[in-house]
Chain A
Amino acid sequence: MLKPPSGVQGSRSSPQRRIPVRLHRNVSLIKTSDAHLAEELLARKKLAGLLAGRLTDQVLLVRPGLEAAVIEELRKIGQTPQVIRGGNS
């Protein structure tokens, strides 16, 4: 996790350019420790059917609404994912 560098909090008070950004909310994804594990997961036909595809070498996008099924499938194949539940306003 990237942390803010020390001493940057004060810079917020000065007028700054607002950074253009596109927001993707309520995204569910799997992040693996290495690309091989991501390959391994995609090679599982049932699991692959629950995923939307690969965002990067180590990041797989989960099809919306299928989160519980993906977790269940991961556990079935012996994986123990660290589940991080996000929260949106």
Chain B
Amino acid sequence: MSAMPSPEGGRAGSADLYRSVLAKYSAPVLRGVRDRLDLSAPGQSATQLVKAIEEHLCDPSHRTAAVSDLAPELRPALAVLPHMPQAGWRADELREVLRYLGCRTPDKAIRALLALGLIALDAPTRRVQTVQQFDQLLAEWGGESLLLVPHPAFTHQSVGIVEDPPRRGLTRSVRGARESDGRELLLRAAVLWQRIAESPLRLTQDGELFKRDLERLAADAVLGAPVFDELAPLPDMSQLALALAESLGLIERDEDSAQLRARLTAVWQESLPAMQRRVWQTLLATRRWNEMGGDETADPLEVRHLPARRWATLLLLAALDPDTWIDLDSLDRELSLRNPDRASLGTPRGPRPFRVFMGRSNDPAGPAAPRSDTAEWLETFLLGAMYQAGITQVADEAAAGSPVVRLAPLGRWILGVGPLPLAPPLFDKTLFVQPNHEVVVYRQGLTPELLGQLASFCRWKGLGAALTLELTAESVYRGLELGRTAEEMVGILDRHSQRSIPPGVADSVRTWSQRRERLSFYTRSTILEFSDPADLEQALARGICGDRLTDRMLLVADERSLPFDQFRLAGSRDYRQPPAVCVVPAEDGVTLEIDAARSDLLVEREVDRFADPLPGSGNGDRRRYRVTPASLARAARLGLRPAYLAEWFRLRAGRGLPSSVQLMLQATSRAPIRMAHTVVLEVPSEAVADGIMQHPLTRPHIASRLGPTALAVAPDKIEACERAFRELGINITPGTAG
């Protein structure tokens, strides 16, 4: 029995997790575990007990002794123990796996492992006070986050296999055995990684991906290209690649920009078997993707059962001898028999309710049992996902020609029932670089390291027996952004190329790289603003590193490197916060004063775009500007619309757009203002004005109402208006022109 590979995260980290979960138990519960382990720990405190239990179970002989008395019906739990994720397994999932493996009392089995400290129970917001609470929590807990964390030593040592292995449909005689190169799914993850590096995916406020981005990925011709060496199609490849890229740590969430971004990670340095193991782990645990066609078409209940079903299938295969194959129909029946929901599903009906045999049946195997609803799933899982990951081998049964399957050597190693397979000979010179900047790569020599390197600065063009990539200005730029240098890129191509790379290609990489030097974009940087140039010089002399922007300003990309004890803070402004009100408009509305004490770097640049600085206003605390028709015309040319100015005054001056500025905007908008001679009719009261506006004799002569007691009469209607008033018996007194 081989040792399992050292899991990611390290054993120390998983031991810490196990201890921290165990530390949530009360002292009586810990003493109960100690007693079950026959452990003579001297300490009595909870901390001492946790340490003693964890250390005790690190010894293989202690582990063997601990499980030696386990009842036979509970032993299937031991087959699962080595494969539990170190971060913990949801209790409902473990329960289901155990049931699939023939354990009729899964809660009792989990309870037994808990009592021995082989796993620890993590119930958020709850502290395990008594041993009986294990049962209560397992029976009553409704939440999904009841986690079972294994002791780290078990992830390194297989302690048992399924004790009731499949017995039907087995064969050793096969033809046409096939095994994939195990690279296909890694390639898809690498393609997705590159696409995200090219164009990060946006996140909604809920942290989900936008439908449009998902559709873009689904439509990607390379990501969705037919799988090389395909036995069973894999649905929704972009979702699968996303799940893989996430679990491999190739992408990260950037909360500041609400994006999912690609990152260069050391995971590509791992060996191919280690990467395949990671892919395998993802395929087993993922809910983002499923074998039945993505998350939209699948029955949620079915999806919930998937992890358990996947585990059960592989553990059944692991229970077979290395040279034994099983046909898919038999495996399907085996799983159906073990399906925990079998009773509720009923017996599936065949295509006909009965068959009549006259004389002897010519089918020695008897009537074929109908395929269960899991048959298709099983095909996709074993002949699709697991085959492409290099976990299973597929062949045809020698006599009947039906497909049979078994664990590949890699699968047996991953499941802890076989040695690490020998690495195939490596072809280091596995690519060609064409003068047209195309790169052709043969899969045989493709290590994860080379895959990660190429994907970081070449663009995928096609997947197949040979892989095609191309070098473009964009792809080289992306490589630079991921932290590579031009010489690194040329070196990688040169090292793996069967011929020297064309000089033109190397020149292109270097030229494209130099273009990037023309423009630097600093995000979330810090600017130190000194009161005078001498202070800036002094700061530099004291060893402050930075990029001089002006004679008083120093740019520091990462302020964590600053020795703050060298400075006296005269003010601090965080530009992620809303802008401060620091502009005071004068009474005329067109003169603006900036309060230097409250201002920031942006405000003067903002004002510069729509107002002119007033001469001699640079001294003192207040800098003054004036809004003029010419400055507003300049703003219009820059695309600053009245709505922008209104919003700016609201944020910076704490008020709306001044009327005098609105007046000038009226001018720049070129909407006409009318000027005309008119006669003003002044009346003694508002009621009289209302009457004139309402009466049919007077209304037609009024051009507009100027105010509560003032009305405008058009010059050509004065006489008619006077006649109307006389007819109503109202005298009009002529006024004097003002």
Contact = CB atoms under 8 A, between A and B. Distances in A.
B670 interface: no
Contacts of B546: 1-2
Contacts of B349: none
Contact of A80 (B473, B574, B600): B473
A55 interface: yes
Given A59-B549, A86-B524, A87-B559, A19 B530 contact: yes
Interface in B488-502: none
Chain A interface size range: 35 or more
Most chain B CB atoms below 10 A, which of A29, A49, A67, A71: A29
Contacts of B544: 4
A30 B519 contact: yes
A23 B526 contact: yes
A31 B543 contact: no
B132 interface: no
A82 B480 contact: yes
A86 B600 contact: no
Contact of B521 (A9, A70, A89): A70
B650 interface: no
B181 interface: no
A37 B608 CA distance: 20
Contacts of B548: 2
B545 A3 contact: yes
Interface string A1-43: 1111100110110001011111111111111110001000000
A37 to B, nearest CB: 6
A29 B541 CA distance: 25
Given A19-B566, A53-B608, A82 B519 contact: yes
B535 interface: yes
Interface residues of B, number: 71
Nearest to A29: B522
A30 B517 contact: no
Interface in B555-569: 555-560, 563, 565-569
Contact of A31 (B547, B563, B567, B570): B547
A64 B575 contact: yes
Contacts of A1: 545-547
A23 B572 contact: yes
B421 to A, nearest CB: 42
Interface of B is mostly: mixed
Nearest to A37: B518
A86 B558 contact: yes
B508 to A, nearest CB: 13
A79 B517 CA distance: 10
A27 B516 contact: no
B107 interface: no
Contact of A86 (B522, B566, B606): B522
B524 A85 contact: yes
Contacts, number: 228
B573 interface: yes
A81 B521 contact: yes
B639 interface: yes
Contact of A24 (B563, B601, B605, B639): B601
B177 to A, nearest CB: 49
Given A27-B527, A79-B519, A80-B515, A16 B542 contact: yes
Interface string B191-217: 000000000100000000000000000
Contacts of B520: 30-32, 81-82, 84
B559 A88 contact: yes
A80 B472 CA distance: 12
Contacts of A27: 522, 524-527, 575, 601
A30 to B, nearest CB: 5
A22 B572 contact: yes
Nearest to B644: A49
A55 B601 contact: yes
Contacts of B257: 67-68
A61 B602 contact: yes
A89 B526 contact: no
A26 B545 contact: no
B707 interface: no
A30 B512 contact: no
A59 B553 CA distance: 12
Contacts of B524: 26-28, 85-88
A5 B519 contact: no
B540 interface: yes
A54 B1 CA distance: 68
B347 interface: no
Interface in B592-614: 600-602, 604-606, 608-609
A89 B515 CA distance: 32
B540 to A, nearest CB: 6
Contacts of B528: 21-24
A81 B543 CA distance: 28
B327 interface: no
Contact of A32 (B518, B529, B559, B569): B518
Contact of B638 (A32, A48, A61, A86): A48
B523 A28 contact: yes
Contact of A33 (B518, B527, B569, B573): B518
Given A55-B601, A87-B558, A88-B559, A19 B521 contact: no
B543 A86 contact: no
Contacts of B638: 45, 48-49
Interface in A54-68: 54-56, 59, 61-65, 67-68
A49 B526 CA distance: 23
Contacts of A68: 200, 257, 259
Nearest to A53: B605
Contacts of A45: 638-639
Contacts of B735: none
Nearest to A67: B523
A88 B526 contact: yes
A89 B128 CA distance: 38
Given A18-B566, A53-B608, A88-B560, A28 B522 contact: yes
B529 A83 contact: no
Contact of B542 (A12, A20, A52, A82): A12
Given A19-B530, A28-B525, A82-B517, A61 B560 contact: no
Given A26-B525, A85-B524, 13 more contacts: A2-B554, A21-B529, A23-B571, A25-B559, A25-B573, A49-B638, A55-B549, A79-B518, A82-B480, A82-B520, A85-B523, A86-B524, A86-B525
Closest 9 CB pairs of A and B: A53-B605, A4-B543, A86-B525, A18-B568, A81-B521, A22-B529, A86-B524, A24-B527, A80-B477
Interface of B: 200, 257, 259, 473-474, 477, 480-481, 512, 515-531, 535, 538-550, 553-560, 563, 565-576, 600-602, 604-606, 608-609, 638-639
25 contacts: A8-B543, A16-B542, A19-B542, A20-B535, A20-B570, A22-B569, A24-B573, A26-B525, A26-B575, A27-B575, A28-B522, A28-B523, A30-B519, A31-B520, A31-B522, A31-B549, A33-B519, A48-B638, A61-B602, A65-B576, A68-B200, A82-B520, A84-B557, A87-B560, A88-B526
